[in-house]
């Protein structure tokens, strides 16, 4: 299956600025996020595709390589210097001395979550055939260890909070990977012996999975802490109220004190991200947002009764 153009996936031109790419991704990701489309497999696959495209185009270095080399730059183990050298050889009609170069034998890693994307290794064996079959007989080649492979593993925030098991496809093999609760963005999981096979009896390399935490449409992450907006009506904020808030581990109830202002962060201890090393868990902060009724003439008349309760100018402390 041909790899779709990453810019087309996000619906942006190649001349888009980073901010335009981010804006397009956020709009589409919110629309197709699994939490917003429970049970909709098509939306889930679309979200994975969007996330994979944004992962590349939001990284200036990876975007530059993709713009220059196309889908080959997405392959695990892609070597820019080798790619440049092969390009020069191709333009010159072949490598120095007329030796053929081998572009076959690529190791392919297909990580579940990337849909049609191929993140396999490219140019891995370009020099593997040089020096073989020389006149005078060839020596028996020494064992050579296989190369390590690296790939990104996309995880939803729910997977990180609760921990999960994921299937990772490596060629024809399917590996079961356990992700500990709290394994955060950028963490690496090493699968020993699951990389490229060795040569001449050498040991295989390892597979390194880098965790890429996908943005959640409602929850923001800051270290081990989570932030979730808590909408309140004006009467609820003034008088206080007991509210119910969903978390990945179930609903919790707590009391919002009377007179709570917009922007207030209510701390819920121990409801954030776990520490995979066994340390203290992060916190969940409910950030108060006031929800106003639809504007109307009766509403404007009603709120005039509030004016005498403001004893000071609310903007008095603003100065530049």
- pLDDT score for 79: 67
- pLDDT score for 201: 81
Mean pLDDT for the stretch of residues 255-284: 93
Does residue 106 sit within a domain?
Answer: yes
Residue 39's SS3 state is coil
Domain total of the chain = 3
Q: Do 230 and 291 fall into the same domain?
A: yes
pLDDT tens column, 64-97: 888 888 887 777 666 677 677 666 655 555 544 4
Res. 239: pLDDT tops 70:
yes
Q: Do 224 and 210 fall into the same domain?
A: no
Q: Do 172 and 226 fall into the same domain?
A: no
Mean pLDDT for the stretch of residues 164-183: 86
Strand order in the sheet with 284-291: 219-222, 225-233, 284-291, 265-268
Average pLDDT, the chain: 80
Does residue 119 sit within a domain?
Answer: yes
> Is-contact 84 115, C-beta < 8 A?
no
Q: Do 185 and 284 fall into the same domain?
A: no
- pLDDT score for 140: 61
Residues comprising the chain, all counted: 320
Whole-number Å distance between alpha carbons of 281 and 273: 6
Q: How confident is the model at residue 136 (pLDDT cuts 50, 70, 90)?
A: very low
The domain that holds 23 is classified in CATH as 1.10.287.110
Residues 6+ apart with CB under 8 A from 271: 226, 247, 249, 252, 281, 283, 284
Q: Do 3 and 109 fall into the same domain?
A: no
Does residue 288 sit within a domain?
Answer: yes
Q: Do 192 and 277 fall into the same domain?
A: no
Q: Do 201 and 223 fall into the same domain?
A: no
Q: Do 119 and 27 fall into the same domain?
A: no
Res. 61: pLDDT tops 50:
yes
Mean pLDDT for the stretch of residues 235-261: 94
Res. 304: pLDDT tops 60:
yes
Q: Which of 196, 214, 232 is the last residue of a domain?
A: 214
Whole-number Å distance between alpha carbons of 290 and 298: 19
> Is-contact 209 187, C-beta < 8 A?
no
- pLDDT score for 158: 93
pLDDT tens column, 109-135: 333 333 333 333 322 332 233 334 444
Does residue 3 sit within a domain?
Answer: yes
Q: Do 291 and 186 fall into the same domain?
A: no
**How is 93-145 classified by DSSP, letter by letter?**
TSSGGG----------EE-TTSTT------STTTTTTTTTT-TT--PPPPPBP
Does residue 318 sit within a domain?
Answer: no
The domain that holds 158 is classified in CATH as 2.60.260.20
- pLDDT score for 78: 67
Q: Which of 214, 246, 274 is the last residue of a domain?
A: 214
Q: Do 204 and 255 fall into the same domain?
A: no
Mean pLDDT for the stretch of residues 241-262: 93
Q: Do 159 and 109 fall into the same domain?
A: yes
Q: How confident is the model at residue 202 (pLDDT cuts 50, 70, 90)?
A: confident
Mean pLDDT for the stretch of residues 23-45: 87
Whole-number Å distance between alpha carbons of 110 and 99: 32
Res. 36: pLDDT tops 90:
no
Q: Which of 74, 107, 134 is the last residue of a domain?
A: 74
Q: Do 210 and 100 fall into the same domain?
A: yes
Residues 6+ apart with CB under 8 A from 12: 20, 21, 24
Does residue 157 sit within a domain?
Answer: yes
* The most confident of 37-41, 129-133, 283-287, by mean pLDDT: 283-287
Does residue 140 sit within a domain?
Answer: no
Does residue 23 sit within a domain?
Answer: yes
**Residue 38 is part of which domain span?**
1-74
């Amino acid at each position: 299956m041909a790899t779709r153009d990453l810019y087309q996936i996000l619906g942006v031109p190649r001349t888009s600025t980073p901010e335009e790419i981010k804006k397009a991704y956020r709009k589409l990701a919110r629309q197709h996020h699994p939490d917003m489309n429970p049970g909709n497999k098509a939306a889930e696959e679309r979200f994975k595709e969007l996330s994979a495209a944004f992962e590349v185009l939001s990284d200036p270095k990876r975007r530059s390589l993709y713009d220059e080399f196309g889908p080959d730059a997405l392959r695990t183990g892609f070597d820019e210097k080798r790619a440049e050298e092969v390009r020069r050889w191709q333009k010159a009609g072949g490598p120095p001395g007329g030796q053929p170069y081998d572009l076959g034998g690529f190791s392919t890693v297909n990580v579940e979550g990337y849909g049609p994307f191929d993140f396999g290794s490219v140019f891995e064996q370009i020099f593997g055939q040089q020096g073989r079959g020389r006149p005078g007989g060839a020596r028996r080649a020494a064992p050579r260890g296989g190369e390590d492979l690296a790939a990104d593993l996309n995880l939803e925030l729910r997977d990180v909070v609760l921990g999960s098991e994921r299937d990772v496809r490596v060629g024809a093999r399917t590996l079961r990977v356990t992700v500990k609760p709290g394994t955060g963005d950028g963490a690496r999981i090493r699968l020993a012996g699951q990389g490229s096979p060795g040569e001449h009896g050498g040991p295989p390399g390892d597979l390194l999975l880098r965790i890429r935490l996908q943005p959640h449409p409602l929850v923001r992450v800051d270290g081990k802490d989570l932030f979730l907006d808590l909408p309140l009506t004006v009467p609820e904020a003034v008088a206080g109220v007991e509210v119910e808030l969903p978390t990945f581990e179930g609903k919790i109830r707590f009391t919002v004190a009377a007179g709570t202002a917009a922007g207030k962060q209510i701390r819920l201890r121990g409801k954030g991200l776990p520490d995979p090393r066994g340390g203290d868990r992060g916190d969940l902060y409910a950030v108060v947002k006031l929800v106003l009724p639809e504007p109307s003439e009766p509403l404007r008349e009603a709120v005039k009764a509030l004016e005498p309760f403001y004893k000071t100018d609310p903007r008095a402390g603003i100065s530049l």
